[in-house]
Structures are given as structure tokens and as C-alpha cells.
Chain A
Amino acid sequence: MDLTWSPEEEAFRDEARAWLRDNVPVPPLPSGDTRAGFAAHLEWERALFEARWSVVSWPERFGGRGASLWEWLIFEEEYYRAGAPQRVTQNGIFLLAPSLFEFGTAEQQDRILPRMAAAQDLWAQGWSEPGAGSDLAAITSRAERDDAAGGWRLFGQKTWTTRGAFCTHLFGLFRSDPAAERHRGLTYFLADLRSPGVTVRGFERLDGDEGFAEVFFDGAFVPDRDVLGEVNCGWSVAMATTGSERGLTLRSPGRFAAAAGRLIDLARTRGAPGALAERVVQSWIEARAYELFTLEQVTGIVDGERPGARSSLNKLYWSGLDVSLHETAMDLLGTDGEADGPWSRGFLFALAGPIYAGTNEIQRNIVAERLLGLPRG
């Protein structure tokens, strides 16, 4: 056990902290899940990229710093502590990119990653369909072979696509072998949303932002070079991506440590009578527990382990703690919580946590069956 950072890691922290102190926009940007806010966030993403903070853990040739996982955790901690903007590029950087590193060809990596890092291409995730949410293997969107053009034509509808109305590209699963069922015969495609045959319609989420979209495909062309992994083997690529989403890369502990710190400030300012003080402390404890769990997990990754089904533990914990933390904030605010503000917005957004990235009911099934060994049923 050694829970200290090396001098090099501390220097990395100092550099990140200083840059963030000088550059984080004040006042905060409008929500990145609105059209106007998204544009402002793109400016921020490009500033991050120029200073090489947009993808710290990637190799330098793709725009990163070749930082270790530990340094990535440090950067995330500083990022959220500084109150820096949400990452509207996150679905590309944190969800698609790990799969590109694992399954992508050198050509795909060279072509896609630098533009993703620079926020030139903006990626949306295309999993859910009207008839396939938690049951991802029930998707019916399909890909038809177009040998003459050297690629595939996509048909069908994706929905609840986060920031789909503002993004330029979509990664998603389509049924490429009509004879195969469920998990088989699916292919992972990287589609340009500006292609002919694609229609995107944004719609409002519970929190009032146009953060969702439906994406309709009617023969949109995707060349062969934009298939990730093998044809008809998209499920395993997608599972690697969902592992990232549930686990560490989407929700680093720094995010919750910062939120717990703000909750304590709120409680100090407004007072936390009776049991409310204990609830404030409990949220801080849970944020700390998530951090410590993560440190153990990253040690395992460094030693060559894969989190696998244990990423479902991450997801259950951070989504649960995020909801209870914001519920506590709303109780501290009382009737003031009715007004639109960072806490009420955070509360509404936290409620999405137990749903996206695979509902928590699905995560509990995974934990029970794959970690505890209970029978499928």
C-alpha cells in the first residue's frame, strides 16, 4: 500500500491546476446540452486541445500527453475541483476511443483520433432504439451490403441519442446479417451524420435541454473503412465500450469528490439541521469510498487485470451516490430548490444516472450473475 503521489505526479497536478485556474470560464458556460451552450463548449474543448489537456492519457501523436492512468485520475480531480465545464466530447473521448485503441486499425486511429481530440469531429453514441433500450441485443436497425460502392447502407432508427442533434458522427450497432439473431450478426459502424440518408431530430430531456435526439437512417452510406472490428462481430466491441461507460472512464472519482465539496459548502452556508448534517457527511464518505475503490481498481489495471463485470459495481455506486448527494442538496435548499440553478439542474441530471449506460436493474443482474454466480433466470 502506498497512497501517495510521486513528485512527478504532483508536478503534473500543479501544472493542471495552474492552467485550469487561469482558463476555466467565469461565469460558467450555459448547458452544453443546448444549441447555444454546445457552441460555447466547443470553444472550451478547442482551448483544452490547444493546451493538450483534452485527452491527457492518449499518446502524443494523437494530441495527448501519454499520461498514465494515475495522472488521468489526477487531471480529472483537478478538472472538477476547478468547476470546469462538462465535457461535450465525452462520448467520443471516453467511450468510443477506448474501443478504437483496442479494436481499431492503425489507419482508423490515425484518421479519427486526432480529429476527435481537437473536437473537430463530435461523436454521439447510437445504441438505443425505440424497441431496444436495456435489451440492446433486440436492435433492428440494419446494414445492407453495397459491394459496388465498397461499403454498407444503414437503415433504421436510433433514439435517446445524447447530443445527437449537435454531433457530426455516430458510433453504433447495426444488424448486418439478417439471418442471425440477438447478439450475433451485428456490426459496429462509424457513421457520418452529415451523409445523405441521415435525418436527426433533437428533443427535450426531463431537465428541459435538447440533449436527446432521434436519428433516422434511410440508406446512408458507410464505407468499409468505417467498420470497427470485424463484420458481424460488433457485439464484443460494443461490450468493451459499455464497460468503459459504466466504469471508470466515464465517471472518474474527481467528479463526485468535487460535488461533495460543494455540498459541504452549501451546508456550511445554509446550515444543516439535525439529520441533514449526517446525510451531507454520508455523501462525502461515499465520494471518498468511490475514490478508494477506483485506486484499487486502477492498481489492478496497471497489474494487467481487466475490470470486466466489476465495472457494473462502479456504475451502481456512482449513480446511487450522485442521486442521494443531490437529494440532500435539494433538502438543504428547501423551497429555494424550486428555482432553476446548478443544484436543481444537477438533481435532474443525477436522476438519469441510474438509467443511462445500462439501467441499474441490468447492472444488478450482471453483478448477481457474473460476480456472485447466481443462476440466470
Chain B
Amino acid sequence: MRFAVAEQAAALRDASDALLGARATPALIRSAWEPGHTWQADIPEVLDVWRGLADVGLTGALVAEESGGLGLDENALPPVLARIGYSGLPVPAVETVAVAAPLLAAAGHPALADVLSGRALVTANLEATAVAGLPVPFMMVADYVLLRAGDEVRIHERSAVEAVPVLAVDGSRQLARLRERPAGGTTLAAGPAAAVAWRRGVLGTAAVLVGLAERMLSMTVEYVRSRHQFGVPVGSFQAVKHRLADAYVGVEFARPAVLAAGWAQAAGAADAAGQTSVAKVLASDAACAVAKAAIQCHGAIGYTTEYDLHLFAKRAWALAASWGSAGWHRRRLAAGMGLQKEEGESVG
């Protein structure tokens, strides 16, 4: 028994974090937003940072060394992707690193080289069979998109899928809806392999949520220490302290659960699916609770778009609802315990 991030995963985390800390500024996130929250395809500076992350090996984290990756396992996803969440970098990192890259490597797909080098981004929506109207994030910036057809995960060239831009709450999500049920594509995984891919996406998203929560919490702590009212820092009031203490508790109990889900996946544990659901429930709820507390404890400035907090809160809300909401995962666990009938189709 040893519950601690392994050395290699920590090294990748630290290398990614150094780059993100220097370059993934709030201004960079804003560059992916357009005035009026419309959707745009041109985010060269963001893609430049992504290529930097590819250079330190992030894109190939789950790809074997002989295929050009780092040869790590799912244990590496939580610590590294949490830092992506903390930075707020607006890219489909989970979809590309956790979901697509290992599938492409397993299939010997020609797109792998560009994905590993950071020249190609892959997005995905695996929540249900792809039909007209399905919302897919990062649709305009992605080069490939993974979609479901029954229990298969298929890869499509982005240019082969027609999509309609959608005004999204998080303007950096580059959201679009499929115009029609996509045809063709190449099957990358089916059945159990598709379930593994889904679980990696859920795990990665949970990790990003933990990082977003940590970011919002640290911004709020900094703010309430410096903001004075009634002649004292507002952070000295118990009403503020207790709110933030509760928010912190949520994050501190979600973080180990996400690490444990990574271990369960890497170890092929029998309850890997259940542990992944546990992680997503805790991370989604923690991030939403932090977002609410953070906005409230900032007061009016937290309700402006000039201030950076909203960049992280809006991402958190989007991701809390993606890859299965907390309620979806709770109902799934309930069904597994025989407490409730399974609802809807599920690849995981």
C-alpha cells in the first residue's frame, strides 16, 4: 500500500506545470474568446503552448515508448491533467491525451504522429450515439473528432463532419452541434475497449475539475486576504472563512479519489468503473461548490467578466455536466448496487 504520485508522473506534472505557469495566462484563455462569445477557429498562441506541452511528452503520456510516447499508465493522468485544469488552457486535452492517443496507438492510426507532436488536436463526445444536434466541444479547433456509434468509438476527420457553431457559456469551449448523424469514420474501439476509453475520459475530466477548483480557491483566498471592508480583510470574517473551509474540504476529499481511480484503471481493478464514477461525482460536486463559494466570497467583482474568475467557473460548470454529471454517475452506481434500474445507454 502506498498512496502517492509516482516519480515519473510527478516529473511530467512538474514539466507541464512549469510551461503552463509561464505561458498559459488568463490573457491566453481570453484569446480563445471573441467579443460576444462567438466561436472562432484561430487560436495560434494556445496551439503554440500545446506544442510545448507535446514537447515535454504530455500528448504521449499513455502511448508506449516504442510508439513515441512516454509509456506511462492512467496513474499519470490525475496529477498532470489537474494542472491543465488549474491553468484553464482551452484545449481538448483530456480528449486528446487520455482518450484518443492510446486508441490511435493501439490501432496504428496514421494520425498518431501529428497528435504526439502537438500539431493535431482530437475532440470527442462519447456520451451517446452521435446524432444530429449532439454538442461537441472544441469542434472548430480540433483536427479529428471521436464519436460513438452504438458501442463503437469512431474517429472522423473534423472536415468530414458538418457542425453548427453554438454560443456557449464558456466562450473558449468552441462548442458546436452536429448538423446530422455522422457517416463513415474509422472504428478505433468497441465493447470493452470503448468502455476503457470512456473511463479514461471521465477520469481526465475529473482531474481537470480538481485543478479548476484549486485555481478558483486560490484566487479567492488571495482576494479575501487583500480586500478590506469595515477596516479589516474580508477573509477575517467567519462567514467567509467557513464558506471557503467547506469548499476546501470538498477539493481535498475529491483529489485522492481521482488519484485512486487512476490507479484502479491502470491496475485493471474489477471496480475501476465504479471508482471512476466516485471520482467524477466528488470532483464535479467539489468544483461546482467551489465556483459558487468563490463568486460569492468575491462579491460584485466576481460577477464581472473583466475579472478572471469566470473563465474557470464556466469551464467547471461545462465539465461537471460532461462525461456524465454527478447525478448520472450516482444513478449508475445505484443501478450497480441494485438500487435503481440503469437509465439510457452507456458505453462505460
Contact = CB atoms under 8 A, between A and B. Distances in A.
Interface of A: 1-6, 9, 70, 264, 267-268, 272, 277-278, 280-282, 284-286, 288-290, 292-293, 295-296, 298-299, 303, 313, 316-317, 361, 363-365, 367-369, 371-377
Contact of B244 (A5, A299, A374): A374
B242 interface: yes
Contacts of A2: 1-2, 263
A263 to B, nearest CB: 10
What 10 pairs between A and B have smallest CB-CB spacing? A377-B236, A368-B241, A364-B245, A367-B245, A374-B235, A292-B256, A295-B3, A277-B334, A277-B339, A364-B242
A1 B256 contact: no
A9 B2 CA distance: 13
Interface residues of B, number: 50
A285 B225 CA distance: 33
B339 A290 contact: no
A1 B221 contact: no
A369 B241 CA distance: 8
Nearest to A369: B241
B260 interface: yes
B246 interface: yes
A363 B252 CA distance: 15
A361 B244 contact: no
Contact of B248 (A4, A367, A376): A367
Given A299-B1, A374-B244, 20 more contacts: A1-B2, A267-B339, A280-B339, A281-B339, A284-B337, A285-B281, A288-B257, A289-B253, A292-B256, A293-B256, A295-B1, A313-B252, A317-B253, A364-B238, A368-B242, A369-B241, A372-B244, A372-B248, A374-B235, A374-B241
B288 interface: no
Contacts of A282: 281, 330
12 contacts: A1-B5, A268-B339, A278-B331, A285-B281, A289-B282, A296-B259, A299-B1, A313-B252, A363-B245, A364-B241, A364-B246, A377-B232
Contacts of A5: 1
Interface string B1-44: 11111100000000000000000000000000000000000000
A377 B249 CA distance: 21
Contacts of B266: 1
Interface string B191-225: 00000000000000000000000000100010011
A49 B224 CA distance: 52
Contacts of B259: 1, 292, 296
A258 B310 CA distance: 41
B338 A268 contact: yes
A278 B3 contact: no
A285 B282 contact: yes
A376 B3 contact: no
A2 B330 CA distance: 26
Interface SS of chain B: helix
Q: Which of A1, A368, A371 has the largest number of chain B CB atoms within 10 A?
A: A1
Q: Which of B1, B249, B253, B259 has the largest number of chain A CB atoms within 10 A?
A: B1
Given A278-B331, A285-B278, A290 B253 contact: yes
A45 B278 CA distance: 36
Contact of B1 (A4, A272, A284, A293): A4
A255 B232 CA distance: 43
Q: Which of A280, A285, A365 has the largest number of chain B CB atoms within 10 A?
A: A285
Contacts of B1: 2-6, 9, 70, 295, 299
A295 B225 CA distance: 32
Interface of B: 1-6, 75, 217, 221, 224-225, 232-233, 235-238, 240-242, 244-246, 248-249, 252-254, 256-257, 259-260, 262-264, 266-267, 275, 278, 281-282, 327, 330-331, 333-334, 337-340
B59 to A, nearest CB: 22
Contacts of A3: 1, 3, 260, 263-264, 267
B263 A281 contact: no
B3 A285 contact: no
Contact of B327 (A278, A363, A364, A369): A278
A153 B275 CA distance: 56
B3 A299 contact: yes
B235 A1 contact: no
B249 A313 contact: yes
A72 B309 CA distance: 43
Contact of A277 (B3, B262, B267, B331): B331
Contact of B337 (A281, A361, A371): A281
Contacts of A371: 248
A372 B337 contact: no
A1 B262 contact: yes
B236 A375 contact: yes
Contacts of A361: 238, 242
A289 B3 CA distance: 13
A268 B1 CA distance: 32
Contacts of A295: 1, 3, 256, 260
A268 B335 CA distance: 11
B2 A299 contact: yes
A282 B329 CA distance: 10
A365 B235 CA distance: 11
Q: Which of B217, B246, B266 has the largest number of chain A CB atoms within 10 A?
A: B246
Contacts of A375: 225, 232-233, 235-236
Given A264-B337, A296-B3, A374 B267 contact: no
Nearest to B281: A285
B330 A285 contact: yes
A316 B249 contact: yes
